[in-house]
Chain A
């Protein structure tokens, strides 16, 4: 299988950060980021507990 090293793959000039990385001044923004990361971690753990 041919795999291209991510370091060799072009990136866009417009870089977009993950949701919650920019503080919106809304109550939920930082908490949302935390919940999202925890949610992803839980999912990964469930799929690949080892």
Chain B
């Protein structure tokens, strides 16, 4: 890269602030901020507001107009949008707040025709409102499944069931509850352009991936990053030998996610079984999830025997 281009990039960054401010202070951005301002605890209300926002055909264009203007004036201007690109889709997050995020994406019809069709579908656990800007003649394949409750066990999980596909229409706005529904865009003749508002409030704690052909549950993952972070940090504390961090392990054994409660107990037992023993006994009797109770009950005699052996070495 030449020095001149390098200098031009630096200059473009210095100038970018005005365009970004114009976007953030614009009516479209403020409309979205206001729409979600009082929806922190209400998924329904947030989804209603997202629907109303996306029903306005000019909202997204108005939101990004200052950025397009800046880009037209200077091709080195970098819009402040988190972008993502994979073999099938290119997208950017246009708006993000604690209640919802709104992403625009374009799905390539030629890539869709070239790539093998997806073998799995994902129930995201979140409610999403989609505006189809350009339908590209695509079909929407859809599946339904039961929402998961706090006693969810993979072994008892029902399979998902296909629903009748629908044809996407330009300008269509629809709501999907990702706790009970999943979908795939397929058979596009032209590129498909969508705006998707994903609602964070009321989301299920886990997302589930199913096999398209059999409908069987394949994998489960944390839908929220926080339990995963906690689990990794607890593992680090254990590996680092931080027995003084017992209160952190104890607290995490009371987490709302059953898998995090047991993950915390596993790390605690591996670090300091004596400190963990009384909480393990509680979990064996009273943890709300049957699998956690069973795992704790299985470990309890082993831990007691190890502690007794440590107290009275032969």
Q: Could you tell me if A13 and B154 are in contact, using CB atoms closer than 8 angstroms?
A: yes
B101 & A28 in contact (Cβ 8 Å cutoff): yes
Contact status B220-A11, CB under 8 Å: no
B307 beta carbon closer than 8 Å to chain A:
yes
Residues of B contacting A9 in the complex (Cβ-Cβ under 8 angstroms) = 266, 269-270, 299
Task: Name the distance in Å between A18's Cβ and chain B's nearest Cβ.
Answer: 4
Give chain A interface residues in 1-45, CB to chain B under 8 Å: 1-6, 8-28, 30-32, 36, 39-40, 43-44
Count of chain B residues with a beta carbon within 8 Å of a chain A beta carbon: 60
Give complex CA distance A22, B218 in Å: 10
Tell me whether A40 and B236 are in contact (CB under 8 A).
yes
B101-141 CB contacts (< 8 Å) to partner A: 101, 103, 105, 122, 124, 126
Stretch at the interface among B4-12, B66-74, B224-232: B224-232
What residues on A are CB-neighbors of B243 within 8 Å? Answer: 1
Interface segment among B47-55, B167-175, B271-279: the answer is B271-279
B298 at the binding interface (Cβ < 8 Å) = yes
- A10, A24, A36, A43: the one contacting B122 at CB < 8 Å is A24
Neighbouring B residues of A27 by C-beta, 8 Å: 82, 84, 91-93, 103, 105
Is B1 in contact with chain A by the CB < 8 A criterion?
Answer: no
User: Once the chains bind, are A3 and B270 in contact (CB under 8 Å)?
Assistant: yes
- In the complex, 23 of the A-B residue pairs with CB atoms within 8 angstroms, ordered by the A residue number, are A2-B307, A4-B273, A4-B299, A4-B306, A9-B269, A9-B270, A14-B152, A14-B291, A16-B221, A17-B219, A18-B231, A19-B222, A19-B228, A20-B225, A21-B221, A22-B221, A23-B209, A24-B124, A24-B207, A26-B103, A31-B84, A44-B236, A48-B240
List chain B positions with a Cβ less than 8 A from chain A.
82, 84, 86, 91-93, 101, 103, 105, 122, 124, 126, 152-155, 196, 198, 206-209, 219-225, 227-229, 231-233, 236, 240, 243, 257-259, 262, 266, 269-274, 291-292, 294-295, 298-299, 302-303, 306-307, 310
Residue ranges of A at the interface with B (Cβ–Cβ < 8 Å): 1-6, 8-28, 30-32, 36, 39-40, 43-44, 47-48
